Structure formats: C-alpha cells, structure tokens
C-alpha cells in the first residue's frame, strides 16, 4: 500500500513507519520536524512540511497518490494544552481539517488516527471500555475527541473509513535500539526517571501522592511502542471506506508512579532520587484499558505486557543515545 504518514518522524509515528516499511509498504512521511527527528526516518521518504501549508500538503499528497493516511502529527502535552489551548485547537483540529479536505479532494478514504485515553476524562470505573462516556479534562483530550466526531461526520457524508486508536501511555523503544523516545523538553514519566538514572537530572518529582489509589500516586497503563505500531498496521489492513473503528490500545494493567520508579531502580541498578510535589493539573487518578475490543476488532493484543520489559527497552535506548537523536 502507499501510505501517507503525518508526524511520521515523531515517537510513535517513526515506530509505525518502520514496521510498515519492513512489511513492504511505500511511505511518504510529512512532518514539520517541530517534535520529530530526521534521524528517526529514511531520508528518501521524508517531506518537511506543515499541515497548515495546505498548498504544499495538497501537492505532496497528490504527487504521492496515497491509498491511506496515518495521522500522528499533533501537539501532545496535556499540561501545555491547559496553558495554550488555542495552539492545540489550531494544530490538532484546524490542521486536521486541512488534512481531511485534501483527503476528500483526492478521494482517499482510509485514515488511521492517534487518539488517546485522555478522551475519557474520569471514567466511571476501571478498566475502561470504548463505550464509556467521554468527558476530557484537558484541551488536548478535547481536540482528539472533536476530531473523532468530525471523522464520524465525514464517514457518513463521503465515506471516510477511520480507525481512532485511543492510546494509553506509549512507552519503550524499538527492540533493536535504533529509534526511541526523544522529546525536548521531556515531560513523560519513564524517560524522566531514566534521565535521573543516567545522572542527567537530579531527581524526579512525583505529581501528587494523595490520589485515591493504593499508594496514593496516579495509575497508568504503559503500552510498548512496538505494540502500538502493530495495532496501527492491523487497523490499516482492517479499514474499508465508510468503516468506523474506535479501539483502546493498552495492556489492561495499571501501574502507579511509585511502581514505575521502583521497577526502574531494579532495571537500571541505580538509585532514583524522588521529590514529592503537588498534583499536576488535568491528571486523572487512574487510567487503564480493557483491551478486549482490540482483540475482537483488530485481532490485536499487547505482546510486551511486563512493565520491567517495557522499561528495559527504554533504558537501552536512553543509555545508548543519552542525547536522543542529537540533531
């Protein structure tokens, strides 16, 4: 298949692109490199461009002639979205509408979309199933939910087929340690804890230990990035025009912030200095997936289910690439 990938030089996008390339698909990666890295992709596949530049987007897509689009390009930090909501509405909503307009004009009717468990807000119970109410707590979560609704409208109006993949916490690095997580600035828990293990940071601050969870810290479902890539490939092969798929991508197990720190100490053999801090705005106490729908709809389930194995792959990447892609 010929696949157009927005944000394919980013963390999850680059792992998906690699799997698709290895499976023999032809790729065009459209990325403005605001968060992505040249070193994460094949130079011959990369077009440096912005979704706001509709002329370039249209030209690139019509030259390439894709059969499907995978859309990763987005602003993704929950905390930042609370402070800069308009940036999120522009990048994640307006620019995605640009993409849809070009897809419609070129009659591309298959879209795999990076959605998020942040669409749920505070779910009524755990684990989370896809039919639970969606009341996002942050502008970030709202932008992703809005786009899912826009896709459903386009599906009815002109036959768009879409898969909204609601990721839980993407983590880990490629098994061959060639690509991994590199955000600047880094805000995610596992890479921050690993930076402490590497001596690049003095300590990790725990954002709140007064949550209604067994150890008082937030619980998340950490899902390996190679498992996410596998789910994207399956979604692509399952999609047909007009089809609507919404699937949670998680392991089904939740781990607290303190557990992540303890397991990282075990994996790295290093002492992790910890500082207790206040809660972070927009955080939900506990989020973990019911992954049964992914099995039913995509024939998918996470292969890396052990937190220690997930952190081990991340540790190998950070140890071998202490400055990330270092561009």
For residue 6 the two structure tokens come to 């927005």
Q: If DSSP states are collapsed to H, E and C, what string results for the chain?
A: CEEEEECCCCHHHHHHHHHHHHCCCEEEEEECCCCCCHHHCCHHHEEECCCCCHHHHHHHHHHHCCCEEEECCCCCCHHHHHHCHHHHHHHHHHHHHHHHHHHHHHCCCEEEEEEEHHHCCCCCCCCECCCCCCCCCCHHHHHHHHHHHHHHHHHHHHCCEEEEEEECEEECCCCCCCCCCCCCCCCCHHHHHHHHHCCCCCCEEEECCCCCCCCCCCEECEEEHHHHHHHHHHHHHHCCCCCEEEEEECCCCCEEHHHHHHHHHHHHCCCCCEEEECCCCCCCCECCECCHHHHHHHCCCCCCCCHHHHHHHHHHHHHHCCCCCCC
Which residues have a catalytic role annotated? 140
Q: Which residue is nearest to ligand UDP (CB)?
A: 218
| Closer by beta carbon to ligand UDP, 115 or else 238 | 115
Pick from 297, 171, 289: nearest CA to 228: 171
Q: Taking the complex as a whole, how short is the minimal distance between the CB of residue 140 and ligand UDP, in angstroms?
A: 9
Residue numbers of the site for ligand UDP (CB under 6 A)?
A: 78, 169, 187-189, 192, 204-207, 218, 220, 257, 280, 283
| Closer by beta carbon to ligand UDP, 50 or else 148 | 148
| Closer by beta carbon to ligand UDP, 155 or else 268 | 268
Q: Taking the complex as a whole, how short is the minimal distance between the CB of residue 283 and ligand UDP, in angstroms?
A: 5
| Closer by beta carbon to ligand UDP, 187 or else 273 | 187
| Closer by beta carbon to ligand UDP, 80 or else 290 | 80
Q: Taking the complex as a whole, how short is the minimal distance between the CB of residue 253 and ligand UDP, in angstroms?
A: 15
Q: Taking the complex as a whole, how short is the minimal distance between the CB of residue 168 and ligand UDP, in angstroms?
A: 8
| Closer by beta carbon to ligand UDP, 159 or else 216 | 216
Q: Taking the complex as a whole, how short is the minimal distance between the CB of residue 280 and ligand UDP, in angstroms?
A: 5
- Phi, psi for residue 292 in degrees, rounded to 5: -65, -30
Q: Which residue has the tokens 């909204």?
A: 164
How many other C-beta atoms lie within 10 A of the C-beta of residue 282?
18
């Amino acid at each position: 298949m010929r696949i157009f990938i927005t944000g394919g030089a980013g963390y999850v996008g680059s792992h998906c692109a690699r799997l698709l390339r290895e499976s023999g698909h032809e790729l065009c990666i459209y990325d403005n490199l605001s968060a992505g890295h040249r070193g994460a992709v094949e130079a011959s596949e990369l077009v440096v461009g912005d979704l706001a530049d509709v002329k370039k987007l249209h030209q690139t897509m019509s030259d390439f002639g894709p059969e499907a689009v995978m859309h990763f390009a987005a602003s993704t930090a929950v905390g930042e979205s609370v402070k800069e909501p308009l940036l999120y509405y522009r990048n994640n909503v307006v620019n995605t509408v640009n993409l849809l307009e070009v897809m419609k004009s070129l009659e591309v009717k298959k879209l795999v979309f990076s959605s998020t468990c942040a669409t749920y807000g505070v779910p009524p119970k755990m684990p989370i199933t896809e039919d639970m109410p969606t009341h996002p707590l942050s502008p970030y979560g709202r932008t992703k939910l809005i786009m899912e609704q826009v896709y459903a409208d386009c599906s009815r109006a002109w036959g768009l087929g879409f898969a909204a993949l609601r990721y839980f916490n993407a983590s880990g690095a490629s098994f061959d340690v060639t690509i991994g997580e590199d955000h600047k600035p880094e805000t995610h828990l596992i890479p921050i804890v690993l930076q402490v293990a590497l001596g690049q940071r003095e300590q990790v601050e725990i954002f709140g230990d007064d949550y209604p969870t067994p150890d008082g810290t937030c619980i998340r479902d950490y899902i390996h990035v190679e498992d996410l890539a596998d789910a994207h490939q399956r979604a692509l092969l399952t999609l047909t025009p007009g089809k609507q798929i919404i699937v949670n991508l998680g392991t089904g197990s939740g781990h607290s912030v303190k557990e992540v720190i303890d397991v990282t100490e075990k994996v790295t053999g290093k002492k992790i200095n910890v500082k207790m801090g206040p809660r972070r705005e927009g955080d939900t106490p506990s989020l973990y997936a019911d992954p049964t729908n992914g099995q039913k709809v995509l024939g998918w389930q996470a292969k890396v289910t052990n937190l220690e194995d997930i952190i081990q792959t991340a540790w190998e990447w950070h140890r071998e690439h202490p400055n990330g892609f270092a561009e």
